Structure 1
Amino acid sequence: MKRISALAAAAAVLATVPASEALAGKRYAATITRTTYGIPHIEARDWRGVGYGVAYAYAEDNLCLLAEEFATVAGERSRFWGPEAKAVLGFEEVDNLSSDVFFRAVLDLPALREGAKALPPRVQDLLAGYVAGYNRFLRDAGADGIPAECRGKPWVRAITADDMLRLNEKQMLLASSLNLAAAIANAAPPGSLAPKVAIALPDARELGIGSNGWAFGSEATANGRGMVIGNPHFPWKGPARFWQMHVKGPGGYEVMGVGLAGTPMPTLGFNKDVAWTHTVTEARHFTLYQLALDPADPTRYMVDGKSEAMTPQTVTVPMPEGEAPVTRTLYSTRWGPVFVVPARGITWSAQSAFALKDANRGNQRGIETWLRIGEARNVGEVEAAVSETLGIPWVNTIAADRYGDALHADVTAVPNVSAEKAKACATPIAGLFAEFAILLDGSKASCDWDAAPGTPVPGLMPARDQAATTVRSWLTNSNDSYWISNPAIPHPQLSPILGRYATARSLRTRSNFIETAALLAGGKIDHARAQAHAFANKSLAADMTLDEIKVLCLTTQNLVAAAERGCVALTQWDRRFETSSRGAALFRAFWFKAARLPGLWQVPFDPADPVNTPRALAIDGAKGEKLLAALAEAVVELDKAAIPLDAPWGKVQHVMAGNEAIPIHGGPGTLGILNMQESVPTPNGLTPRHGTSYIQIVGFDDQGPVADAILSYSQSTNPASPHAHDQTRAYAAKQWHRLPFSAKAIAAETIAAPRRIAE
């Protein structure tokens, strides 16, 4: 009895000792407090502790996902899942063998190790802490504590610093080289036995990925302080899922927001003075080079009349037990690795080949950039962080501060290629690549990227030549280029590598401008109006076309039965993608077909009126007949899928949580819907693949940030977790969560005793 009493007394004393004292003397130490929806609040006295706590908490929620990701970047997918199975790289699937070859060949681990030595000490500490925290969780969980989905799997293992370096490099390449992984991994000289793998030439605009972000300044908000609405559209499954966290570290660092798998601190969120979000930029972070090959040897290429040898690299990929490993040799040039996309005419012949030079290869600056953003006291310091480091890899930065300034900075790691250089170095076939990338002449050394003073790496475009705007009104981006962030203040024209200029904007961008103008016309913005704006679920495509479709339906004689049924269903639709909307599924199917028809609009695009053009659906003669044919085809498509034409949208688009179907509002961005959800067919209807993910509305009062948010797909990928679907239900019901940032708010929402970990 005395022993029990003594232990109890000791525990009581320990409980009164501050965490900083109780954990003193430990190399790694952190305290993790969980609040509503399982959001972790991680507090540490140094950067090692921050990484330690973040990794531990992330592994508690998503161990299997992260363990698989470490196997992916190590090039071990074929060994564990077979060479023909698929991996999600970036935003698309690639066969495991191509994935493994890419990571083993393109990720230059010796160079990454060398580069890591020059990283700021706090970044090195963060990464070391993350490794320790992940491994600590594995030890604490033991064999029986691993989630059922990956329990006993050989790919669930302790990690090293190399794993973090590879994972960080992968994140930097998400919107560039990674999307050409199969094209690089399967490039072989003429005469070689080329692998038979389907290779695509992806374009972010075609993939439908993207985001919306708004920054409102003092002239637009009810309280005269800045406000940010962040609505990134990211995958619902896989390593590009967001995860919420609140981190309190050394030197007053305190940031709440989200990061991706393996991110050691928030990369999107807010502190007490500044809020920020990101959207995928239209800027190109690489260039392609057309090579003139040496007639004597297709693995040599000509530069300024002299022959240069390509650099061969042979990699060996382990296969499942009992199968021989696969060995493959890839080739690289001064311009980067050779790649092929035969279906698009990008081949390796005896005369020519193509190479890719990526501005984000070896970009290890991103973590320091986001740390500086997290420390920023105003949007000027946010702009300085992205401009001085050029560490942001492929996203716009949209921010506002408590003082009422709003910023849109399309400033990233991009090649320093001017319009003049792009024109002078173009090859005869450069126009065929214009929608995807800038193609340069690899036979001229002068066609390399220009070095500019003041950049952290030679060949990057300096921030002064990119686009950054600060106002006290408002700015927004929905993945179109820098040209227009606010229709009242178009940006001057810059290099074509930063995106298209004076061209038609997407329906989602146009919807953004129209809805934002309508929002502000009704009064200055506050949290309640921002919430309604984010989840309005209007379709600009519907608003632009349904009146004409109705006329077409009423004036066409002898409608085929399918088209007639479609006309009736669309007449009864509310033109929204709410879970209760009837007819939304039909319009979605119809617009996917109709939008591709030539001569769709009567009024063409006018650069002087980009918000309202093109417009006026063309329904005369054969054009009307094709529209009705598309409607009939959509009806037949839904019939085959057993989806009633008047089915409530939430019965069609949903997420399964066990046997529970959670209805999901929102719809495709190509329909001009801001609350974007791109869904794929399932046996039960449609389920989101990517779209609205972490939605945050952040303003400021006298005490600090005021943030409402929701994570649409919830914190955990472990089906057994109570936080696997809780926020998804809240998203379905449009129930926002006021995030606990202050100590008082955290204490009020704490769902379990704080956990202190140290070693």
Structure 2
Amino acid sequence: MIRIAALATGAAVLALTPTSEALAGKRYEATITRTTYGIPHIEARDWRGVGYGVAYAYAEDNLCLLAEEFATVAGERSKHFGPEAKAVLGFEEIDNLSSDIFFRAVVDLPALREGAKALPTRVQGLMDGYVAGYNRFLKDAGADGIPAECRGKAWVRPITTDDMLRLNEKQMLLASSLNLAAAIANAAPPGSPAPKVAITMPDPKELGIGSNGWAFGAETTADGRGLVIGNPHFPWKGPARFWQMRVKGPEGYEVMGVGLAGTPLPTLGFNKDVAWTHTVTEARHFTLYQLTLDPADPTRYMVDGASEAMTTQTVSVPMPEGQPAVTRTLYTTRFGPVFVVPTRGITWSAQSAFTLKDANRGNQRGIEAWLRIGEAKNVGEVQAAVSETLGIPWVNTIAADRYGDALHADVTAVPNVSAETIKDCSPPIAGLFAEFAVLLDGARSACDWEIAEGTPAPGLMPASDQAATVTRSWLTNSNDSYWLSNPAMPYRALSPILGRHATARSLRTRSNFVETAALLAGGTVDHARAQDFAFANKSLAAEMAVEPIVKLCADRAILPQTVGIGCSVLDGWDRRFDNASRGAALFRAFWPKAARLSGLWTVPFDAADPVNTPRGLATEGDKADKLLAALGEAVEELEKAGIAVDAPWGDVQRVMAGNEAIPIHGGPGGLGILNVQEAAAAPWGLTPRHGTSYIQIVGFDENGPVADAILSYGQSTNPASPHAIDQIRAYAAKKWHRLPWHAEAIEAQALGKPKRIAE
């Protein structure tokens, strides 16, 4: 049992409503006001107070989740949860031992401590305050006030700045090194025992990270001001959940939005002049290197004909009580740590090895970048913030301002590797890695990242070589590359490390362009039309395929029973993934099977018409037979799972809260659905795994921002909280919430009296 109760007395604990005299001279002070859905409004006089209040409020809602995160980044999961159990590192599962080895070896805490000394004073204050606020909550809660799910657990403990440094590093690596954590942790020289855990090289399309974002400028909005629709797709469970907050701090800082666990301020949201959202970029934030090893020693590698020794680091991972610690030695190079993925032929042999060099390793610039975005008065200042800091780790920035300008900036921490370098330095096997990363030749120093003048860290690509567009029309992104933010404004070709140019777009991106064009064809955009647009739940795959399939069915005199059932259901389906839609479950089961068929479309991709190609479902000859067979298989799959083929979608995809079944609209992005909900099998059918999370629609009037939003899974992971499922119900009903910005609106929505904390 942790000793929290004993800490709950003394000068650090003040009454909830102290006098101004009591607050005077306190190092940390914040006021927290909760409004509808439990959204906290944190006010503080300085940056330490901001971090203090944010941490306290977050712990009130999600203590167990955050405490487990601190155990993860400290490399203590094996000790507390067992080495073979699983951890969620951002978006994917990994065994605890591999996770612990990664964080103890790859996260360079001494370097992070040294880097923190050079951070802006306000960033240091935020982190200092966050530590104090988290620890203050533990003191106030006492042993009995800890949620039941983690009460009495040794891993629920006070934290230090080291914990924050490690957690920030993890967030920076979410879309890069973290996805190869097991591959790095289990790399060993030739002759070593084979890894005992499964190691995979993730497909970026399968990571479960995504999003849609739109910025509408003056030419497309009803009031001539900017408007943003944000729809990030993130996990419903685990540490990558968003959490809503409004922060009012020093120097006029006032921002409302969301952040992930451990972020001391909103990283996606709006202020009085600017709104912004993020989508995961297609740019690669690391490079892989193939090393040529020294024939005399596989722990040495050749660069420009000279032999260099790998650097070793031995880490010791504590195990559960009574078991000896596990010791592991990892190897790193000037091109990053060695990694292995034996199932993909990526091994450490006597001749070669592979390494990963990550542009976000040691990136401590993110908080300052988001602070500057939150302070921005127009999209030009947003662009300057991301360009000058190069601190945004792995997301596009899509923004609009009250003056009617719209921005899409695909500007992040990216290796400075040109198209010419990639062409010159690609080993013969580079094509095998192309879907995942750029592979370069580690035997030549000329293949290392180029140092550009003026970047905040050596080897980063300058913002001037990345993609950014400002317009008064509209811009959008659904995770495809910078090439098309608006089909009328294609971007010039840049380095391949920034993504693919003039290639086929995903069905979701194409759906985005099709639906946005239809939205604008119907008139200018306002909040009401934006709400309908965000939750239309149309499927571009269905729009392109269902009618030809139904016609194919009608042309057949005899159909197998299962196929006939499928044809009838698809014919009556509204082609949407609304809760009442009958046939959505069948199409969800059918389309992945159909999409794998070769020669699916009669009209191939055309770079001159990327929105409408490929198209034309191939229904001739044996292609027709294969499509109908896939439909029959889908019917059988649903019947085997106990799901009625024509069940309303909301009866299939649900969240269970006790005995309450909450229907969840939306569907897989691979079907060309903008309102993404990727689901996992459940006893009742399907339950959301990741997808639409914090949806915001933000415009402006003469007095400030006008924002409607829903956090699909709610504020709290504590089942006992009233805010664990309230917004799930709102999402199910498409019930938007007008976020309170002005004092009178906050007072009208307030849940109880403000809480003032200080010490």
Q: TM-score range by the shorter chain?
A: over 0.9
Q: Does 1:641 align with 2:656?
A: no
1:586 aligns with 2:586: yes
Q: Deviations over 1:87-134 (max 9, x none)?
A: 111211111111111111100000000000000000000000000000
Q: Give how far 1:15 is off.
A: 11
Task: Tell me the alpha carbon deviations over residues 537-559 of structure 1, each in whole angstroms, 9 at most, x when there is no partner.
Answer: 00000000011101211123432
- Secondary structure at 2:753's aligned position in 1? coil
Residues 513 and 20 from structure 1, CA distance in 2 versus in 1: closer, same or farther, beyond 3 angstroms? farther
Instruction: Give the drift of 1:179.
Output: 0.4
1:78 alignment counterpart: 78
Structure 1 counterpart of 2:348, one-letter code: W
Kindly provide the amino acid, as one letter, of the partner of residue 56 in structure 2: Y
Gaps of 5+ in 2: 1-13
Q: Distance in 2 between matches of 1:696 and 1:527?
A: 10
Secondary structure of the structure 1 residue equivalent to 2:129: helix
Aligned residue number for residue 462 of structure 1: 462
Deviation, 1:21, is 6.1
Question: What amino acid maps onto 2:527 in structure 1?
Answer: H
Answering whether residue 272 of structure 2 is matched by residue 272 of structure 1, we say: yes
| Structure 1 equivalent of residue 9 of structure 2 | none
What percentage of residue pairs aligned between the two structures are identical? 82
Which residue in 1 is equivalent to 2:228?
228
Question: Matched residues in 2 for 1:652 and 1:494: separation?
Answer: 44
In structure 2, the residue matched to 1:191 is: 191
**Structure 1 residues 143-196: Cα deviation after superposition (integer angstroms, max 9, x where no partner):** 000000000001000000000000000000000000000110111111011222
**How far apart are the structure 2 equivalents of 1:514 and 1:570?**
22
Residue aligning to 1:421 = 421
Determine the C-alpha separation between the residues in 2 that align with 1:484 and 1:690: 25
Q: Distance in 2 between matches of 1:595 and 1:321?
A: 51
The residue correspondences of 1:590-601 to structure 2 (distance < 5 A) are: 590-601=590-601
- Preserved CA contact (<8 Å) 1:208 1:669: no
- Taking a change above 3 Å as real, the CA distance of residues 16 and 690 of structure 1, as seen in their structure-2 partners, is closer
Deviation at 1:17, TM superposition (A): 9.6
Q: Secondary structure at the match of 2:399?
A: strand
Give the partner amino acid of 2:552: L
Deviation at residue 23 of structure 1 after TM alignment = 2.1
Q: How does 1:8-47 map to 2 (within 5 A)?
A: 23-47=23-47
The residue number in structure 2 matching 1:381 is: 381
- Rounded to whole Å, the distance in 2 between the matches of 1:545 and 1:15 is 64
Q: 1:293 to 1:700 in 2, by over 3 A?
A: same
2:11 corresponds to: none
**Structure 1, residues 436-490: CA drift from partner, whole Å, max 9, x if none?**
1110000001111001111001100000000000000000000000000000000
How many residues align? The count is 746
Moved over 4 A (4+): 14-22
Instruction: Give a deviation string over 1:182-230, Cα, whole Å, max 9, x none.
Output: 1101111110112221111112223342000000000000000000000
Whether 1:535 and 2:535 are equivalent positions in the alignment is yes
What CA distance in whole angstroms lies between the structure 2 residues aligned with 1:628 and 1:197?
A: 40
Q: Take 2:665 and 2:547, find their aligned partners in 1: how far apart are those partners?
A: 24
Take 1:314 and 1:377, find their aligned partners in 2: how far apart are those partners?
49
| Cα 1:557/1:403, change in 2 over 3 Å | same
Contact 2:16 2:757 in 1 (8 A): no
1:551 corresponding residue in structure 2: 551
Q: Trace 1:389-428 onto structure 2 (pairs within 5 A).
A: 389-428=389-428
Pairing 1:738-749 to 2, within 5 Å after superposition: 738-749=738-749
Correspondence 1:72-471 to 2 at 5 A: 72-471=72-471
Residue 757 of structure 2 aligns with an amino acid whose one-letter code is I
1-structure distance, mates of 2:710, 2:233: 13
Partners in 1 of 2:552 and 2:186 — Cα distance? 50
Partner Cα separation in structure 2 for residue 31 and residue 22 of structure 1: 14
Partner of 2:3: none
Q: Distance in 2 between matches of 1:675 and 1:434?
A: 29
Q: Which residue number corresponds to residue 9 of structure 1?
A: none
CA distance in 1 between counterparts of 2:279 and 2:301 reads 38
> 2:564, 2:15 → 1: CA distance?
72
Q: Is the 8 A contact 1:538 1:577 kept in 2?
A: yes
How many angstroms apart in 2 are the aligned matches of 1:258 and 1:439? 35
Question: Could you say which residue in structure 1 is the equivalent of 2:508?
Answer: 508
Q: Which amino acid aligns with 1:555?
A: D
Q: Which amino acid aligns with 2:55?
A: A
Q: 1:208, 1:261 → 2: CA distance? A: 18
Query: CA RMSD of the aligned region, Å?
Result: 1.2
Quote the residue 2:5 is aligned against: none
* 1:215/1:229 contact within 8 Å kept: yes
Whether the 8 Å CA contact 1:273–1:700 is kept in 2: the answer is yes
Q: Unaligned regions of 5+ residues in structure 1, if any?
A: 1-13
Contact 2:186 2:340 (C-alpha < 8 Å) held by counterparts: yes
Residue correspondence of structure 1 range 712-723 to structure 2 within 5 A: 712-723=712-723
In structure 1, distance between residues paired with 2:21 and 2:531: 42
* Alpha-carbon separation, structure 1, partners of 2:17 and 2:242: 34
One-letter code aligned to 2:404: G
Q: What are the Cα deviations for residues 361-390 of structure 1, in whole angstroms up to 9, with x where unaligned?
A: 000000000000000000000000000000
SS of residue in 2 equivalent to 1:247: strand
Amino acid at match of 1:332: T
The match for 2:650 is: 650
The aligned runs of 1:513-532 (5 Å cut-off) are: 513-532=513-532
Hey, what's the Cα distance between the residues in 2 that align with 1:17 and 1:729?
33
Q: Distance in 2 between matches of 1:565 and 1:483?
A: 42
Partner of 1:693: 693
Q: What amino acid is aligned across from residue 318 of structure 1 in structure 2?
A: P
Separation in 1 of the partners of 2:460 and 2:223? 40
1: distance between equivalents of 2:23 and 2:275?
31
Residue matched to 1:562 = 562
User: Which TM-score applies when normalising by structure 2?
Assistant: 0.97
1:187–1:194: 8 Å Cα contact kept in structure 2? no
Instruction: Tell me if structure 1 keeps the 8 A contact 2:17–2:756.
Output: no
Structure 2 counterpart of 1:624: 624
Give, in whole Å, the separation in 2 of the partners of 1:532 and 1:256: 23
Cα offset, 1:290, TM superposition: 0.2
The 3-state SS of whatever aligns with 1:41 is: strand
Alpha-carbon separation, structure 2, partners of 1:420 and 1:411: 20
Whole-angstrom CA distance in 1 between matches of 2:16 and 2:412: 47
Report the alpha carbon displacement of residue 564 of structure 1 after superposing the two structures with TM: 1.2
1:282 is displaced (CA, Å) by 0.2
Give the superposition deviation at 1:736.
0.2
CA 1:16–1:338 in structure 2 vs 1: closer, same or farther (change >3 Å)? closer
Equivalent residues of 1:422, 1:440 under 8 A apart: yes
Counterpart Cα distance in 2 of 1:374 and 1:708: 18
Match in the other structure for 1:5: none
Q: 1:521-540 CA deviation, whole Å, 9 max, x = no partner?
A: 11100000000000000000
CA distance in 2: counterparts of 1:558 and 1:310, whole angstroms = 68
Say whether the 8 Å CA contact 1:49–1:126 is kept in structure 2.
yes
1:59 is the counterpart of 2:59:
yes
SS at match of 1:238: coil
Deviations 1:282-314 (A, max 9, x none): 000000000000111111100011111111111
* C-alpha displacement of 1:656: 1.1
Counterpart of 2:185 in structure 1: which amino acid?
A
SS in 1 for 2:679: strand
Aligned residue type for 2:647: A
Whole-angstrom distance in 1 between the partners of 2:102 and 2:599: 42
Report the Cα offset of residue 562 of structure 1.
1.2
TM-score normalised by the chain length of structure 1: 0.97
- Any idea what SS the aligned residue of 1:256 has? strand
In the alignment, residue 494 of structure 1 is paired with which amino acid? L
Deviations 1:380-427 (A, max 9, x none): 000000000000000000000000000000000000000000001111
Q: Do the aligned residues in 2 keep the contact of 1:20 with 1:45 (CA within 8 Å)?
A: no
Cα distance in 1 for partners of 2:337, 2:118 equals 25
Deviation at 1:18, TM superposition (A): 9.9
- Going from structure 1 to structure 2, the CA distance change for 1:618 and 1:122 (only over 3 Å counts) comes to same
Residue 19 of structure 1: CA displacement? 7.6
